[in-house]
Amino acid sequence: MASRSVNKVILVGNLGRDAETKFTPSGVSMTRFSVATGRRYKDQATGEWKEETDWSNVIFWRAENLAPYLTKGKQVYVEGRLQTRSYEDKDGQKKYSTEVVADDVILLGGRGGESGVGDAGFNQEPRMMSGPRSSAPRAASVPSSGGGSPFDAGISDDDVPF
């Protein structure tokens, strides 16, 4: 039997704090931020609706210009993989940290329609930031002529090879 596994994370949530970008000694940028995701559920014992928030720490490599746009409260879409690493604390205890290593980050908009400096356009249209290691194919943007479909980019039946 062939072995197969998947390590994929998709988050849609709000930023818990402003993103911070630091550089490794070799000059590679690393942007860190946290994403809050929530869920509602009905408590079986009391019948009351409850809300629960989960926090995910995210690392996005080689995206040095992203931090000014990732500010507290912004809604984002994050796609990546889980990574767990271990380290020893100051008392010599082994600790584990699990984080999301992002391949794609899409800014979805502000909270409550807020618009501030550097916010222009984020409430109208999502913006996408891709890391260099992302292998997912990207759809090309095709300009439309007139009011037609963006798929009418001058292609006729004669251009189809079959």
pLDDT tens-place string over residues 44-66: 999 999 999 999 999 999 988 88
pLDDT at position 19, please?
A: 95
What digits encode the pLDDT tens for the residues 91-120?
A: 999 999 999 999 999 999 744 444 333 333
Q: Decide if 62 contacts 132 (C-beta within 8 A).
A: yes
| CATH 2.40.50.140, domain 9-159, yes or no | yes
Using CA atoms, how far apart are residues 146 and 41, in angstroms rounded to an integer? 48
Q: Does the model's pTM come out above 0.75? A: no
What digits encode the pLDDT tens for the residues 10-33?
A: 999 999 999 999 999 999 999 999
Using CA atoms, how far apart are residues 79 and 101, in angstroms rounded to an integer? 8
At residue 79's C-alpha, the angle toward residues 78 and 83, to 5°, is: 105
> 100 pairs with which residues across the strands?
58, 82
